[in-house]
Structure 1
Amino acid sequence: MARKNLIEISSADESPNPVSAVRPLSGFVAPATRSAPIGGITKTLGHITQRVERAQDIEKQLAEGQMIVELDPTLVDGSFISDRFAIDPVDLADLVGQIREHGQQVPILVRPHPKSNGRYQVAYGHRRLAAIKEIGIKVRAVIRELSDDQLVVSQGQENNTRTNLSYIERAVFAVRLEDLSFSRDVIMAALNVDKAALSKMISVVRQMPMGLIHAIGAAPEVGRRRWMEFAEKLPMAKIDISALLESLSADNSSDQRFQEAFDAINTRPAKAMEAQARSWAPMDKSVSVTVKTGEKKATVSLGSANGPRFAEYIAGRLDELYEGFLKSTTETTGD
């Protein structure tokens, strides 16, 4: 009965005996509990795993441009290609005031600088970056890996929607991109225009000296049609470009300078007085006199048999003739 009892108890208790109830081996002291160290290690490993996953998530968000970070603005360079002529100082001052009061609401987009380790290059947000550099705070930015094509498309599309570049600024931007060997498809995507519109933009800039375009400026109120008309008329005007540049007033707005230049190529100089010819001859036809007069020059020709002798006669009496001329002029004008 005792043996049977032992068997029944053994079969009823299926769980192993606790470590404290097991007779220790010689020279070995079992720990009081095994659950605490294993739980601690598991917990630590769990924390490490979470940190790794979090770091990977941060890296992914940064790579995809989903995370906003704060950067030292001195480490951020402008784009390798400019899309505007200059930042208007009045607009910049307004933006500085807005950021001082409300903070930087919209982050800029940058990429790791392709040539300078540890630096960044702006895709868009040049005005915000300039304002923040003036304030002296960190700039909020999205960092994204961008190819050159992706950068100019992002730059162009953002400026199309936010900064309202003028027509001529966008046209010059298109030419700069073409000069850097970007494809027409990329340029069209950056400017959000079709093939025909892009061709016209490039044609306008190609027909004009770049120095004249920059001397006029952005001219934000001047649209496509007037720039196209200006570009078409300029070569036909045969105007001295250097003189035109000197005539443009730096004190005027760029819209006013455009009008100055436009008026200059549309104002034709007064035509020089066309040479008029008069002929005279006596009854006997022994002398023929032809007088041609222009604005500042007159020619007298004498011919026929007595022509040479009559010419000598006139030459000998030039003083007398001129005095008579002055006297007739005084009598006519009353001076």
Structure 2
Amino acid sequence: MARKNLIEISAPNTVRTESVPAKDNRPIAGFLPQARSGGPVGGITRTLGNITEKMERANDLERQLAEGQTIVDIDPDLVDGSFVTDRLEIDLVELGQLVEQIREHGQQVPILVRPHPETKGRYQVAYGHRRLAATRELGIKVRAVIRQLTDDQLVVSQGQENSARTNLSYIERALFALRLEQRDFGRDIIMAALGVDKAALSKMLIVMRQVPLALISAIGPAPDIGRRRWLELGERLESIDCEPIVAELSADNSRKLSSDERFQQAMTLAIGKPASAKPAAAPSTISGVPVTFKRTPARATFVFDSKAAPGFDQFVQERLETLFNEFQQGKET
């Protein structure tokens, strides 16, 4: 932003007035200014004072911009999405309604962005993805607050805004929690972003372990389906093969259904399949290791023989994080 514009839109500072003693009008050295003539020296002094005042006001506005207290207009093509996706899809009907609202009344609520951490001159959204999409469709600039944000601050702002507006479904919030965990955000940050306690976060992550991502994508956000139903579906899926359910929901006739209806269809298919549709794997052992395990489509369970190797379970538990990091690195390479 040019310095000239900063000066022109700044509000003038309040002029400070000096109090004069009521009883004694005699000048006190260093307190009452001496009278100055209107000659050139006085004019130069006033000019310098005005320049200083304008610079102070410009600096104050720059500070407000840095703190995200000023709304600016940005070309939406310069704005990228958050590095953590929190939606399965954008409802085209709702987006169309938002486009018409902004067309008629303007964008009433600004989005929050930060300077892009990797690309100079670009920005990254913390929240306001739908408003950004609407302004793109209208071909107008998006009103935004620019704020310097760390990754932690961005995801907390992103999650809290969505929680306040209650426009994310339960499964989208659970998926957001999983994505944050996969990016090594701490549980305290995830709980703050979602506005949930430890127990609620644990249930979200249980659902994400039980229900495959392919099935969640086939169902969609299911806005009217809450935690209890998702947990119930997850429990049903533990003993069956869910690939036929994913195939059924991905068919053209199912895609015409609403997301909530696809969830009901998945539940019906899961209930209709007997638990023996995919026999549970018999416990397996590793030669020479006092551990047995069994695997289902959704989870694997390890059982340690404490009598044969006391303390081995604790030894493995302490090294799980290291093992998981090695696993992730192997997938990346």
Q: Same fold per TM (> 0.5)?
A: yes
Is 1:75 paired with 2:58?
no
Is 1:258 paired with 2:258?
no
Is 1:50 paired with 2:50?
no
Alignment of 1:82-93 (within 5 A): 82-93=85-96
| Separation in structure 2 between the aligned mates of residue 163 and residue 127 of structure 1, nearest angstrom | 14
Change (3 A) 1:270 1:258: closer
Match of 1:182 in 2: 185
| Separation in structure 1 between the aligned mates of residue 104 and residue 273 of structure 2, nearest angstrom | 54
| Separation in structure 2 between the aligned mates of residue 127 and residue 163 of structure 1, nearest angstrom | 14
Change (3 A) 1:271 1:78: closer
Match of 2:248 in 1: 247
Change (3 A) 1:215 1:81: same
| Separation in structure 1 between the aligned mates of residue 275 and residue 188 of structure 2, nearest angstrom | 48
What does the per-residue CA deviation read over 1:153-172, in whole Å, with 9 as the maximum and x for residues that have no partner? 00000011115210000000
Alignment of 1:198-237 (within 5 A): 198-236=201-239
What does the per-residue CA deviation read over 1:305-333, in whole Å, with 9 as the maximum and x for residues that have no partner? xxxxxxxxxxxxxxxxxxxxxxxxxxxxx
Match of 1:94 in 2: 97
Alignment of 1:9-20 (within 5 A): none
Rg comparison, structure with higher value? 1
SS of alignment partner, residue 122 of structure 1: strand
| Separation in structure 2 between the aligned mates of residue 136 and residue 111 of structure 1, nearest angstrom | 21
Which one of the candidate residues 125, 130, 134 is aligned to 1:127? 130
Q: Which amino acid aligns with 1:264?
A: L
The runs of 5 or more residues in structure 2 that have no matched partner are 1-35, 278-333
Match of 1:16 in 2: none
| Separation in structure 2 between the aligned mates of residue 202 and residue 123 of structure 1, nearest angstrom | 23
Deviation at 1:59, TM superposition (A): 1.4
Match of 1:323 in 2: none
**TM-score, L = length of structure 1:** 0.68
| Separation in structure 1 between the aligned mates of residue 194 and residue 200 of structure 2, nearest angstrom | 10
Alignment of 1:276-295 (within 5 A): none
Change (3 A) 1:93 1:44: same
Match of 2:161 in 1: 158
Runs of 4+ in 1 over 2 A off after TM superposition: 33-36, 268-272
SS of alignment partner, residue 105 of structure 1: coil
Deviation at 1:269, TM superposition (A): 5.3
Q: Which amino acid aligns with 1:250?
A: R
Change (3 A) 1:268 1:110: closer
Q: Which amino acid aligns with 1:169?
A: E
% of aligned pairs identical?
Answer: 66
Which one of the candidate residues 97, 118, 121 is aligned to 1:118? 121
Deviation at 1:190, TM superposition (A): 0.3
Q: Which amino acid aligns with 2:200?
A: A
Is 1:40 paired with 2:43?
yes
Cα RMSD for the two superposed structures: 1.8
Is 1:136 paired with 2:139?
yes
Deviation at 1:65, TM superposition (A): 1.3
| Separation in structure 2 between the aligned mates of residue 270 and residue 71 of structure 1, nearest angstrom | 55
Deviation at 1:39, TM superposition (A): 2.0
Deviation at 1:268, TM superposition (A): 3.5
Q: Which amino acid aligns with 2:198?
A: K
SS of alignment partner, residue 39 of structure 2: helix
Deviates more, 1:168-177 or 1:38-47: 38-47
Deviation at 1:242, TM superposition (A): 2.7
